[in-house]
Amino acid sequence: MGAWAAGLYSSDMAADMRATVKSVLRLPLDEDRIVDILRDSETQAANDADNEDHTTFWLVLADQFEKRGIAHAANREKAINIIDRGDDLMMMEKLGMKLADLRKRSAKLAELRARLTVAPRVSKPRATIKAPESYVLEVGVLYACPVKGSNCINPYFSKKDFERFPWTPDGWRQFVVLDRGRAFDYLAWYQPLVCKKPVQQKPRIVEAGADLWWQLDWPKTCSPRHFDCMEIEAIGTLPIAMDIATS
């Protein structure tokens, strides 16, 4: 939680938002509907001003819209008001951001405000999805990815991030997809059953027993890029009683 550096995208929430905005803007929907979808995807952050991710949600949305040529007056004005009132800097200070980083973030917010002020008031044409996304993960297949402690590789980290926060795996996390579908008939999602206890060696089908702690997780997305970045591997088909697993 919180930010790992001063930049607007130096938090998991911001990185997730950037990826989500990019995906949702591919839908053949108008700007108001796009904003509604994004708010519904992060209801607490979007609607609760006391939530630690509230300012990040709206600032990232405004930044991504401006960079991608999307004009949305209500979002633009909300972001400008957040900057002018100092809401984001107060939240970052509350979360423990150091004074030097607060100054850096303030400069970045001033730059964002300047861009928002002169941003076009009409959206430019954007490329939208012509066909539903292809699936990356298969139902009933056991997958595994390397972890450090209990954490997977952060697919949003850049080379500089890994230099600051070295990542050396010491185990494996495994999961199996129980269901999948497409949100809004276009965006692929997956329902994973996750083994919460990492194992030291790469899993094998014969070892994926019930003695491990398996837990049904929230539906997830998985792009081909994230599949590669997280070094996910298909281990094999896992026999599952689907009526029991999803009950």
For residue 194, is it left (φ>0), alpha (ψ between -120 and 50) or beta? beta
Residue 3 has a pLDDT of: 57
Q: Are 60 and 8 in contact (CB under 8 A)?
A: yes
Amino acid 63 reads D
* Token pair belonging to 50: 């006391």
pTM for this prediction = 0.64
Residue 175 has a pLDDT of: 95
| Residue whose token pair is 């081909």 | 224
Give per-residue burial for 136-151: e unless 16+ CB within 10 Å, then b.
bbeeeebbbbbbeeee
pLDDT along the chain (247 residues), means of 10: 73 89 92 95 95 96 97 97 97 93 96 97 93 94 93 87 87 94 91 91 75 86 93 89 55
Q: What are the residues whose beta carbons fall under 8 Å from the beta carbon of 45, sequence distance 6 or more? A: 13, 51, 53, 54, 56, 57
> Could you give the residue ranges of the DSSP H alpha helices within 118-198?
159-164
| Residue whose token pair is 């996750």 | 194
Element of type H or E holding 187 = strand 187-195
Residue 166 has a pLDDT of: 85
Q: What is the CA radius of gyration of the chain?
A: 20
* Token pair belonging to 6: 């001063």
Q: Are 135 and 154 in contact (CB under 8 A)?
A: no
